[in-house]
Structure 1
Amino acid sequence: MLAPSVSSSATIIKPVTTLGALPPPSEVTFPGVFGWSPISTGSLAAALHLDRGLFATWRCRGIGPTELPSTWFRPAPGRPRYYRVDQVLTWLAARRGDQLDTATTWRLSLARDLGQEVTDLAEVRKLAALYARAAGPRLSGGVTFTPAGFRDYLASLLAA
């Protein structure tokens, strides 16, 4: 008897194992979030094709992107840490010796996600805060701010 042939369309993605193998910021996407949005460790690891344990090791060694204050967020199972998309992208760029800043990532997000071409930095910050306020303290991916944390997060978007 012949065994039925099995066709598999699954793609196996080998996790990144070194800092040098991280993708450039232009190749990283965080679906459904803006350049100023917070993301969890799980979302970050998935977007970068990283093993969460390896990323935790990098974080403990102080070579990861800047974390957002844990007091801004409601406790969640697994105690995730949170990062802002722009800070992850600028960290990736810096690891490669490239130049990328917060204003650029926000401008690109406004143009790509909302069809708004804005060059004035103050206007970019206002729009980011406006859209963040409209999204509210509960975001996709299990990100939930405390009331004080959401207020501080919005203030951080407007800070110079």
Structure 2
Amino acid sequence: MKNFRETLLERAEQLSNDALDSSTPIWRPLTSRDLSKLLGVSVQVLANWRVRDLGPPHHPARRGQGHKRFYRMDQVLAWLTERPSWEFGRAWLLRRGLAPDDADEAYVEWASDIFE
């Protein structure tokens, strides 16, 4: 029987393909509710991971949006696959012809600031 981590790793490839095919930039914030649906876990599991510092990187809401937490899909995929998050941003940009073939981490960071 597979453990939970193995199940998440299997889902990572499908999540990666879906995210890279989406017209929404891969670095756009996801709510805890949206991420829980994508990963197949409850919102409470995400909260537990946050408290125990086990889950994907999360970001607090902007001022005036309450106590919500947001996640970036590129960082979630990096957490699942143990690859750098900028590689997913590069792949998303390349699929749209928005980056040169030799785009590096600095280029992806620059582009994510522009397209945000």
Q: TM-score, normalised on structure 1?
A: 0.56
Residue 43 of structure 2: aligned partner: 52
Change in 2 beyond 3 A, CA 1:32/1:52:
farther
Paired residues for 1:70-149 under 5 Å: 70=60, 72-76=62-66, 79-94=67-82, 100-112=83-95, 114-118=96-100, 119-121=102-104, 122-132=106-116
The one-letter code matched in structure 2 to 1:103 is W
> Larger C-alpha radius of gyration, 1 or 2?
1
- Cα separation, 1, equivalents of 2:93 and 2:63: 25
- Cα separation, 2, equivalents of 1:53 and 1:71: 18
**Gaps (5+ residues) in structure 1?**
1-16, 95-99, 133-160
- Cα separation, 2, equivalents of 1:130 and 1:27: 27
Query: What count of residue pairs does the alignment treat as equivalent?
Result: 107
Q: Aligned with 1:72: secondary structure?
A: coil
Paired residues for 1:5-24 under 5 Å: 18-24=4-10
Specify which of 14, 26, 33 is matched with residue 27 of structure 1. Answer: 14
Q: Contact between 2:30 and 2:71, CA under 8 Å: does it hold in 1?
A: yes
Give RMSD over aligned pairs: 2.3
Residue 143 of structure 1: aligned partner: none
Aligned-pair identity in percent equals 24
Which 4+ runs in 1 deviate beyond 4 A?
none
Flag the structure with higher helix content: 2
**Gaps (5+ residues) in structure 2?**
none
Residue 151 of structure 1: aligned partner: none
